[in-house]
Chains A and B, each alone.
Chain A
Amino acid sequence: MATVSVFRFDPELDERGYFDDFHVPDREGQTVLEALFHILEHEDGSIGFRYACRGAVCGSCAMHINGRYRLSCATQMADLGDKVVIRPLYHMPVIRDLVVDMDKFFEKYERLRPWLVNETPLGDKERLQSPEDRAKLDKLVDCILCACCQASCPFTQTDPEYIGPALLLKLDRFYSDSRDLATADRIEAGDTEHGVWRCHTAYNCIEVCPKDLNPTASIARLKGAAIRRQFTGRVE
């Protein structure tokens, strides 16, 4: 039996958040998301949390679990001990319980134009890319926008307009794509006071990413591109 402390907050009823303790029976292979379902079905039907795929693909179930940002659907209860403390992602307003408001995150994402920009005629086939160029995107396309890294970064707290590690990694995903022709715009989008220069290379983002991605390396790549562009005029 594990004691699960869940952060509770209902803006219509509560002035501030608090924790409710629930007791969840052990079950082999049980994930934190399943433990939350157990609570929802057997103890408290009002508890709020997000999920969709249950397979570590959609990124909706990210939470702060026992001191670390994790995907609740991919975290085994057995790995956490008898006491499990679950909080919502930090640095984003709480809508209710474990559900945070991600509007701002997705607004910033949209501003980066997260799609291939290429106006040249397509021809009768898809746009081709060499295996070497495709390999540059191998890790970058794995980001599921769970926002664990975004919540872990100290500078998304001090500057809520900071683009943040998740979205800078996404920016790099298009910057590094040989089929994308908006290279100058991509570099410029990162080269702002709310962009790559706010990163202090604290590495929190790498530590927490459930997909083992490296936003800091993406940020370093974008910084290099901005410096080259500034001093040599080269856009590459």
Chain B
Amino acid sequence: MASVTSSTPTGLVPWLLQRITGALLVIWIAAHFIFWHFDKASEGQLDFAMVSGTALTRGAGGYIWEMILAGLCVYHGLNGVRNIVYDYVVDKTKVSWLTPLLWIVGIAGFLLIGYHLAQFQVGH
């Protein structure tokens, strides 16, 4: 039987990535809650000073871990916005500008989070 692959966007990739990021977020957010809100919070006041001074946010591993969480949140949230718009707009060509715009917003947001988290590395 014929083998066909299409390069035209059909909604498949955003749909699939929404599920994958959703599943990963369950793991990452659970770990985030367990670590910060139960484990660390029991050690004292959970505030900016504590988060920035904790080994998790100051080591490279912790930085990568938190940045993965940030990436998942940004992608999942903005892809959700795209989905809602695509649900309501009948002529999808009218919103072809939306996906590039959301990518720009997403990358900018991700870099901003990365910049602020990196401040913890130098001991703020």
Within the assembled complex, what's the spacing in Å between the Cα atoms of A195 and B3? 21
> Judging by beta carbons under 8 Å apart, are A155 and B87 in contact?
yes
> Judging by beta carbons under 8 Å apart, are A193 and B10 in contact?
yes
> Judging by beta carbons under 8 Å apart, are B87 and A158 in contact?
yes
Chain B interface main SS type: loop
List residues 65-90 of chain B with CB under 8 A from any CB of chain A.
86-90
Q: Mark A99-138, 1 if CB is under 8 A from B, else 0.
A: 0000000000000000000000000000000000000000
Q: Mark A206-222, 1 if CB is under 8 A from B, else 0.
A: 00000000000000000
The reply to whether the CB of A226 lies closer than 8 angstroms to some CB of chain B is yes
By CB atoms of chain A within 10 A, which of B1, B4, B13 has the most? B4
Give, as a whole number of angstroms, the nearest-CB distance from A35 to chain B: 37
Within the assembled complex, what's the spacing in Å between the Cα atoms of A161 and B86? 12
Number of interchain pairs (Cβ within 8 Å) = 60
> Judging by beta carbons under 8 Å apart, are A230 and B5 in contact?
yes
Known pairs A159-B87, A193-B86; A234 contacts B11 (CB<8 A): no
The reply to whether the CB of B33 lies closer than 8 angstroms to some CB of chain A is no
Within the assembled complex, what's the spacing in Å between the Cα atoms of A116 and B106? 46
The reply to whether the CB of A66 lies closer than 8 angstroms to some CB of chain B is no
Known pairs A155-B87, A159-B90, A198-B87; A188 contacts B12 (CB<8 A): no
Q: Mark A171-182, 1 if CB is under 8 A from B, else 0.
A: 000000000010
Q: What are the residues of chain A within 8 A of B1 when measuring CB–CB?
A: 181, 183-184, 235-236
> Judging by beta carbons under 8 Å apart, are B90 and A161 in contact?
yes
Known pairs A193-B10, A197-B15, A226-B12; A159 contacts B2 (CB<8 A): no
Q: What are the residues of chain A within 8 A of B10 when measuring CB–CB?
A: 191-193, 195, 197, 226
The reply to whether the CB of A223 lies closer than 8 angstroms to some CB of chain B is yes
> Judging by beta carbons under 8 Å apart, are B3 and A192 in contact?
no
In the complex, which range does the number of interface residues on chain A fall in?
20 to 34
By CB atoms of chain A within 10 A, which of B13, B88, B90 has the most? B90
List residues 185-201 of chain A with CB under 8 A from any CB of chain B.
188, 191-195, 197-198, 200
The reply to whether the CB of B37 lies closer than 8 angstroms to some CB of chain A is no
The reply to whether the CB of B26 lies closer than 8 angstroms to some CB of chain A is no
In the complex, which range does the number of interface residues on chain B fall in?
20 to 34
Give, as a whole number of angstroms, the nearest-CB distance from A162 to chain B: 9
Q: Among the listed A159, A181, A184, A230, which residue makes an inter-chain contact with B12, where contact means beta carbons less than 8 Å apart?
A: A230
Q: What are the residues of chain B within 8 A of A227 when measuring CB–CB?
A: 12, 16
Q: What are the residues of chain B within 8 A of A161 when measuring CB–CB?
A: 90
Within the assembled complex, what's the spacing in Å between the Cα atoms of A223 and B9? 14
Q: What are the residues of chain B within 8 A of A23 when measuring CB–CB?
A: none
Q: B residues bordering A, Cβ < 8 Å?
A: 1-6, 9-16, 86-90, 92
A-B contact pairs, 25 of them (CB 8 A): A158-B87, A158-B88, A159-B87, A181-B1, A184-B1, A184-B2, A188-B4, A188-B6, A191-B6, A192-B10, A192-B11, A193-B11, A193-B92, A195-B10, A195-B11, A197-B10, A197-B12, A223-B15, A226-B12, A227-B12, A227-B16, A233-B5, A234-B3, A235-B2, A235-B4
A-B CB proximity, top 3 nearest: A197-B11, A233-B3, A197-B15
Q: A181-B1, A198-B87, A229-B5 are in contact. List 8 more A-B contacts (CB 8 A).
A: A158-B88, A191-B11, A191-B12, A193-B10, A193-B11, A226-B12, A230-B13, A233-B3
